[in-house]
Amino acid sequence: MRRRHAAATGIALLTALLLHSPAHAAAKVRKKHSAQALNPVAARLMSAGLADLNHGDLSAAISLFAHAARRQPSVQAYFLLGWAHYQRGFKSGAVESADRADAQSAVDAYAMALKRDPKLSELPDHSRLYFSLGLCEESLGAHVRALNAYKLALAAAPDRALIALNAARLRLKMKEPGRALSNARMALIKARAAGQEGELRAAAAGDPLFASLRAAPKIRAALGVDQTLIASANTMRDSDLRDSVGDGPRAVTAPRPASSMTLDIIARADEDAAYERYAEAARGYRAALISDQHRRALSAEQTASLWEKLGVADEKIGDDAPAVAALRRSLELAPGRAETRYRLALAYAASGRTSAALTEVRNAFAAASSNVDELRRYVLLSKTDLDLTAVRDLPGYRAAVAAAAPRIALR
C-alpha cells in the first residue's frame, strides 16, 4: 500500500545511499587485506541468502545466513545476518516501531563480526554496518551506543549527509538541542557538497522519521525547511492515505461511503502515531470506534486491530488502565493474536501488575507456538524489554522460557 511505502521512505532512502560501496574504500580493502577463503558450503548458503534478500524474502535470508555463520563463522556471514535482521526489523520505517527482537539480533550479529575483526577489513563499506547498528541500538533505547555507531558510520562515509541528520535527530531525543543544531548544519553542508541538498530537505520536510527536527524552529530554519515545503509534503501524504483506503476523487456535495469515512479517521490516526503524536492518535482511534458503532463498516478483525492500536497509543502516553481495557477488548474479538497478548503484558507490567503480565507473556508464547520464528521473536523480546524487568524476576517466567526453549533452538 502507498501509506506503507510512504512510512518506509526514510529507511529506503538511507538504504539506497548506503548500499553502494565507495570505489576508494573497495580498492583500499583489496590492497591491504586478503579476504578469508570461504568454505564452499558457506559460500553457497550466503549466495542463496543474498538472492532471497534481493527478492524481499527476509526470513529465508536470515535462515540461510545463520546457517552460513554456523558452517563457517566470518565477518561477511555475520554482517549479512545482521543486515537481514535490520531490514526485517525496520520494515515500518520508524525507529520507535522497529521490531525489537530483530534489532537485538542485528546488534548481536554485528558484535560477532566486530569481535572477529574490529577493523572490518573484509567489508568494503563499514558505514553500512555502523549506520544500521546505530538505528538498531536507538530502537532498543541504547542512545549513547547508537550515537557512537552514527559517529563511526560518518567517519567511514563522511560525505553521507543523512547519517549526520539522523545524529541530529538522536541528539534532540537525548535533550541536546545545541548539538542537534550543529549536526543538522553539518548534514546540510555535506548535502550541498554532494549535490543532494534537495533530497535532504525533502526528507527533512516530509519523512516521519524527522518529525522532531521539523518541530524545532532553529533546526527547521537551519535546514531551510519552510512551511510551504512541509505543507506540500503533508498534502502528498494525505493523498497517499486517501488512495490507500480507496477514497478517490469526489464532488464536494457527494456523500462519502460510511466505510471510507471510518477508514479515513483511522488513516489520520495512524499518521499521528507515525509522528509520535500518541494522544492525538488515541483520540482518533476512539473517534473511529464511535463512528463504526453507527456504521458497522469494519470487520471483526479490523475492529480488533483498531482496539489494539488504541491500547498501544494509550500505553505510549502512560494511560495504563485504558490501555489494558482496550487490549482486552481486542482480545475478545481476536483471542489468538500473539502481538496483542504481548502488548497486554507490557501494559500490565507498566501498571505494576506483574503476575498478570507474566500470564500474558505465557499466552503470547502459546499463541505464537505454531510459528517457530514468531515464538523465538517473542521469547527474545521478553528477555530484553525493559518494561518486563520485574516479570523476569518471577520464577514462572524462567519456566515459561524453558518450556519454549526446545521449540526455538536453532538446528
- Reported confidence tier of residue 36, pLDDT bands at 50, 70, 90: low
Q: Are 123 and 73 members of one domain?
A: yes
Domain boundary among 297, 325, 353: 325
pLDDT of residue 203: 82
Query: 254-302 pLDDT, tens per residue?
Result: 333 435 677 778 878 887 787 778 888 899 888 888 877 766 777 888 8
Q: Which of 59-68, 85-94, 140-149, 237-246 has the lowest mean pLDDT?
A: 237-246
pLDDT of residue 316: 87
Q: Are 407 and 355 members of one domain?
A: yes
Residue owning grid cell 471510518? 262
Question: What is the rounded average pLDDT for all residues in the chain?
Answer: 80
Residue 194: Cβ-neighbour burial (10 angstroms; 0-12, 13-18, 19+): middle
Can you give the residue range of the structural domain that contains 186?
Answer: 2-233
Total domains, the chain: 3
Query: 340-354 pLDDT, tens per residue?
Result: 999 999 999 988 899
* Percentage of residues of the chain with pLDDT beyond 70: 81
Give the mean model confidence (pLDDT) for residues 122-147. 93
| 290 falls within a domain | yes
Measured distance CA(198)–CA(300) in Å, rounded: 44
Contact residues for 23 (Cβ-Cβ < 8 A; gap 6+): none
Q: Are 392 and 262 members of one domain?
A: no
| 242 falls within a domain | no
Check pLDDT > 90 for residue 198. no
Give the mean model confidence (pLDDT) for residues 88-116. 89
| 187 falls within a domain | yes
* Percentage of residues of the chain with pLDDT beyond 90: 37
| 246 falls within a domain | no
Cell, residue 332: 475478545
Q: Are 379 and 408 members of one domain?
A: yes
- Reported confidence tier of residue 142, pLDDT bands at 50, 70, 90: very high
pLDDT of residue 259: 54
pLDDT of residue 124: 83
The CATH number of whichever domain residue 98 belongs to comes to 1.25.40.10
Q: Are 29 and 146 members of one domain?
A: yes
Measured distance CA(342)–CA(355) in Å, rounded: 14
pLDDT of residue 247: 31
| 244 falls within a domain | no
pLDDT of residue 318: 86
Q: Are 343 and 313 members of one domain?
A: no
**Better-predicted residue by pLDDT, 368 or 228:** 368
Domain boundary among 325, 351, 375: 325
| 118 falls within a domain | yes
Q: Are 117 and 201 members of one domain?
A: yes
Q: Are 162 and 204 members of one domain?
A: yes
pLDDT of residue 230: 52
Q: Are 91 and 209 members of one domain?
A: yes
Give the mean model confidence (pLDDT) for residues 326-343. 92
Residue owning grid cell 522460557? 401
Q: Are 136 and 216 members of one domain?
A: yes
SS (H, E, C) 117-164: CCCCCCCCCHHHHHHHHHHHHHHCCCHHHHHHHHHHHHHHCCCCHHHH
- Reported confidence tier of residue 307, pLDDT bands at 50, 70, 90: very high
- Reported confidence tier of residue 201, pLDDT bands at 50, 70, 90: confident
**Better-predicted residue by pLDDT, 236 or 158:** 158
Query: 159-170 pLDDT, tens per residue?
Result: 899 999 999 999
Q: Are 227 and 369 members of one domain?
A: no
Domain boundary among 233, 248, 271: 233
Half-sphere exposure of 75 (CA within 13 A, CB side): 18
Q: Are 14 and 163 members of one domain?
A: yes
Q: 317 in helix, strand or coil?
A: coil
